[in-house]
Amino acid sequence: MEAGERQPRIIVGVDGSGASIQALRTAHALAGPLDAAVEAWACWDVPAGFGIYLAVGIEGFEFAAKQSLQQALADAFGAAVPPEIRGRLLRGSAAHLLIDGSRKAALLIVGRHGHGGFVPGSVSSACVSHAHCPVLVVPAQAEGADGGR
């Protein structure tokens, strides 16, 4: 976070996984005590070898990410998403975007394991290693546990 900013910002990496939904709930729980705004970031990109996908158009990837973000917010909070939580859709590598965003954040929250990448936890590992602010890595809620609502 930069010195001139009034309200701290918590950035949450969201991919629709159980761990990212729990990360959203954790960010909400911390937002009040920290008097922070929460940005839920869903990152998307066209897969490597995208040439075949151009026939379909890249809009489908962006639409899928938008749907995933909206569903994750609904899964975390139900129909009433708290007003301090704002969704944001970004194109690019999740790890790179989250690390860059951490330059202006007070806290970065990511799930331990997500849906993307070949190596589970690769985004959280990259964020822990390279972020410019503290990083909180949240596991998925255990089955049968209270959903945090």
What strand order describes the sheet that includes 85-91? 85-91, 37-44, 9-13, 107-111, 135-138
Q: What is the arithmetic mean of pLDDT over 20-38?
A: 95
Residue 47 lies in a domain: no
What's the structural domain count of the chain? 1
Q: What is the arithmetic mean of pLDDT over 8-25?
A: 95
Structure tokens at 105: 């954040």
What is the helix (H) or strand (E) element at residue 82, kind and residue range?
none
pLDDT category at 10 given cuts 50, 70, 90 is very high
**45-49 CB contacts, 8 Å cutoff, 24+ apart:** 45/91, 45/92, 45/93
Task: Say yes or no to pLDDT of 4 above 90.
Answer: no
13 within 8 A of 116, measured Cβ to Cβ: no
Looking at residue 94, the DSSP 8-state letter turns out to be H
Residue 136 lies in a domain: yes
Prediction pTM value: 0.83
Alpha-helix residue ranges (DSSP H) falling in the chain:
18-34, 59-77, 94-101, 122-130
Range of the domain at 56: 9-34+52-80+93-102+109-114+121-141
Residue 149 lies in a domain: no
- Residue percentage of the chain with pLDDT more than 70: 79
pLDDT tens string 53-90: 565 666 778 888 999 999 999 999 999 999 999 999 99
Task: Say yes or no to pLDDT of 50 above 80.
Answer: no
pLDDT tens string 106-129: 999 999 875 544 444 688 899 999
Residue 4 lies in a domain: no
